[in-house]
Structure 1
Amino acid sequence: MTPQTRRHFFSQTSAGLGAAALASLEQRPAAGSQAVGGLPTLPHHEPKAKRAIYLFMSGAPSQMDMWDPKPAMADWYDKDLPESIRQGQRLTTMTSGQSRFPIAPSVYKFAPHGKDGTMVSELLPHMATKVDEISLVHSMHTEAINHDPAITYICTGDQLPGKASLGSWLSYGLGTENENLPAFLVMTASWSGRQQAQALYNRLWGNGFLPSKYQGVALRSSGDPVLYLSNPDGISPKIRRRMLDSLGRLNEAEYARLADPETNARIAQYEMAYRMQTSVPDLNNISDEPQHVLDLYGPDVTKPGSFANCCLMSRRMAERGVRFTQIFHRGWDQHGNLTGDLPKQCRDVDQPSAGLLTDLKQRGMLDETLVVWGGEFGRTIYCQGKLTKTNYGRDHHPKCFTIWLAGAGIKQGFVHGETDDFSYNIVRDGVHIRDLNATILNLMGIDHDRFIFPFKGLDQKLTGVEPASPISAIMS
Structure 2
Amino acid sequence: MNHSFGIGSRRHWLQTASAGFGYLAFAGISGRNAATASPTDDATTDQSSPNPLAAKSPHFPATAKRVIFLCMQGGPSHVDTFDYKPELQDNAGRPGVYGGRLLASQWKFRQRGESGLWISDLFPNVAKHADDLALIRSMHCDQPVHPRALTQMHTGNAQFVRPSLGAWTLYGLGTENESLPGFISLNPPRGASQNMGSAFLPAVYQGTGIGRTSRRVATNRRQGSSNPADQVPDIKNARLGESAQRRQLAYIQSLNRRKLSGDSRDAAIEGAIESLELAFRMQDAVPELMDIGNESDATRRLYGLDNPTTSSFGMQCLMARKFAEAGVRFVEVTHGNWDHHFRLSTSLPQRCGEVDLPIAGLLADLKQRDLLKDTLVIWGGEFGRTPDAPGGDGRDHNNNGYTLWMAGGGVQGGISCGATDEFGFKAVENPCHIHDWHATILHLMGLDHKRLTYRYAGRDFRLTDVAGNVVTDILRNPA
TM-score (norm 2): 0.82
Match of 2:256 in 1: 251
Q: 2:61 aligns with which of 46, 51, 61?
A: 46
Match of 1:77 in 2: 92
Q: Secondary structure at the match of 1:473?
A: helix
* CA distance in structure 2 between the partners assigned to 1:316 and 1:36 by the alignment: 24
Match of 2:345 in 1: 339
Q: Deviation at 1:170?
A: 1.6
Letter in 2 for 1:393: G
Q: Secondary structure at the match of 1:434?
A: helix
Between the aligned residues of both structures, percent identity stands at 37
* CA distance in structure 2 between the partners assigned to 1:69 and 1:303 by the alignment: 27
Contact 2:35–2:45, Cα closer than 8 Å, also in 1: no
Match of 1:60 in 2: 75
Unaligned runs of 5+ in 2: 1-27, 38-43, 218-227
Q: 1:352 aligns with which of 358, 364, 372?
A: 358
Q: How does 1:18-417 map to 2 (within 5 A)?
A: 20-23=32-35, 29=46, 37-38=52-53, 42-81=57-96, 86=97, 100-160=99-159, 162-188=161-187, 199-220=190-211, 223=217, 230=235, 234=239, 237-256=242-261, 257-261=263-267, 263-300=269-306, 306-385=312-391, 387=392, 392-417=393-418
Match of 1:8 in 2: none
Contact 2:151–2:157, Cα closer than 8 Å, also in 1: yes
Contact 1:369–1:407, Cα closer than 8 Å, also in 2: yes
Q: Secondary structure at the match of 2:396?
A: strand
Q: Secondary structure at the match of 2:60?
A: coil
Q: Secondary structure at the match of 1:415?
A: strand
Q: Secondary structure at the match of 2:359?
A: helix
* CA distance in structure 1 between the partners assigned to 2:307 and 2:264 by the alignment: 49
Return structure 1 stretches of 4+ with deviation > 6 angstroms. 224-228, 301-305
Q: Deviation at 1:234?
A: 4.7
Structure 1 residues 36 and 264: alpha-carbon distance in aligned structure 2, compared to 1, 3 A threshold = closer
Letter in 2 for 1:457: G
Q: Deviation at 1:261?
A: 4.9
Number of matched pairs: 428
User: 2:424 aligned with 1:423, yes or no?
Assistant: yes
Q: Secondary structure at the match of 1:306?
A: helix
Q: Deviation at 1:265?
A: 3.1
Match of 1:446 in 2: 447
Structure 1 residues 212 and 303: alpha-carbon distance in aligned structure 2, compared to 1, 3 A threshold = farther
| CA deviation map 1:158-188 (0-9, x unaligned) | 1135221111122222111111111111111
| CA deviation map 1:294-329 (0-9, x unaligned) | 222124579997111111111111221111100010
Contact 2:304–2:314, Cα closer than 8 Å, also in 1: yes
Q: Deviation at 1:439?
A: 1.1
| CA deviation map 1:382-403 (0-9, x unaligned) | 1132x2xxxx111110001101
Q: Secondary structure at the match of 1:328?
A: strand
* CA distance in structure 2 between the partners assigned to 1:438 and 1:327 by the alignment: 21
Deviates more, 1:138-147 or 1:154-163: 154-163
Q: Deviation at 1:233?
A: 6.7
Structure 1 residues 18 and 294: alpha-carbon distance in aligned structure 2, compared to 1, 3 A threshold = closer
**How much is the aligned-residue C-alpha RMSD, in angstroms?**
2.9
Deviates more, 1:375-384 or 1:303-312: 303-312
* CA distance in structure 1 between the partners assigned to 2:257 and 2:45 by the alignment: 21
| CA deviation map 1:364-390 (0-9, x unaligned) | 1111111111110010111132x2xxx
Contact 2:420–2:429, Cα closer than 8 Å, also in 1: yes
Match of 1:473 in 2: 473
Q: Secondary structure at the match of 2:102?
A: coil
TM-score (norm 1): 0.83
Q: Secondary structure at the match of 2:302?
A: helix
Structure 1 residues 266 and 127: alpha-carbon distance in aligned structure 2, compared to 1, 3 A threshold = same
Contact 2:52–2:204, Cα closer than 8 Å, also in 1: no
